[in-house]
A and B are shown apart, each in its own frame.
Chain A
Amino acid sequence: MTVTALLFASYAEALGSDRVELALSGTATVREVVAQLRALPGGAALPASPLVAVNLTYAGADQRVENGDEIAIIPPVAGG
């Protein structure tokens, strides 16, 4: 299955992209998505357990991901 990872702010800068398509085999969780991203060039800038949103809702590391999901890796927020 394929999921789309969205990167923002300092994370997008570190990986040189704001959008990465990832191929995952079998069942996978948020944790595997983050691990794949961290293995990419520049991915070491991502923490092991970043804030993540799956399809616009904050999600934990154990949440299952499905084909076509949009998985956003959220840097420390700074609104206001």
Chain B
Amino acid sequence: MSVHTSIVRRPIDIGALLALVRNTANGATLVFLGHVRELNDGRAVSGIEYSAYGEMAERELAAIASECASTFGITDLAIEHRLGALALGDASIAIVVAAPHRGTAYDASRFVIEEVKRRVPIWKREGYVDGSSEWVDASGAVKRSSMPEHYS
């Protein structure tokens, strides 16, 4: 039994997460990756800067894992969310769920990503190939801002 949740500032190591949830009691292991897409809202994206209220984000991730355990009976789960400057294709989140059967794994994985998007205090500032950047909300909508400077 292994539950791991973390906010990280380095590339996500899927192999390490798979090793964490490895358990012969399970017959299904599911990996979900969210990564930086080249197009959003019709604009060509160059990268995304992720920031967070770190202490609360860690707590919310742990709470989601705990709810995943109580709702789906999942005891082998790893969730990592990466912060900092990510390039196209870089993984921002990995959810690795292992369960005795696939149905539970799919349901639990979907639960985790939807809860992360709904409540974990993480923000992203999207950079575009034209040199501009914007804050983006969970719906993918861009918040128009008069601030041209990147906030760090």
Could you list which residues of chain A lie within 8 angstroms of chain B, going by C-beta atoms? 6, 8-10, 12-14, 53, 56, 58, 72, 74-80
Q: How would you classify the secondary structure of chain B's contact residues: helix, strand, loop or mixed? A: mixed
Collect the chain B residues with CB atoms within 8 Å of residue A53's CB. Answer: 53, 56, 121
Q: Does B128 contact A (CB under 8 A)?
A: no
Is the pair A13, B145 in contact by a Cβ cutoff of 8 Å? yes
Q: How would you classify the secondary structure of chain A's contact residues: helix, strand, loop or mixed? A: mixed
Q: Which residue of A lies closest to B126 (CB)?
A: A78
Q: Closest approach, in angstroms, between the C-beta of A18 and any C-beta of chain B?
A: 9
Q: Which residue of B lies closest to A10 (CB)?
A: B135
Q: Closest approach, in angstroms, between the C-beta of B56 and any C-beta of chain A?
A: 5
Which stretch of B14-22, B69-77, B96-104, B111-119 is in the interface?
Answer: B111-119
The one of B34, B125, B145, B147 in contact with A80, judged by C-beta atoms closer than 8 angstroms, is B34
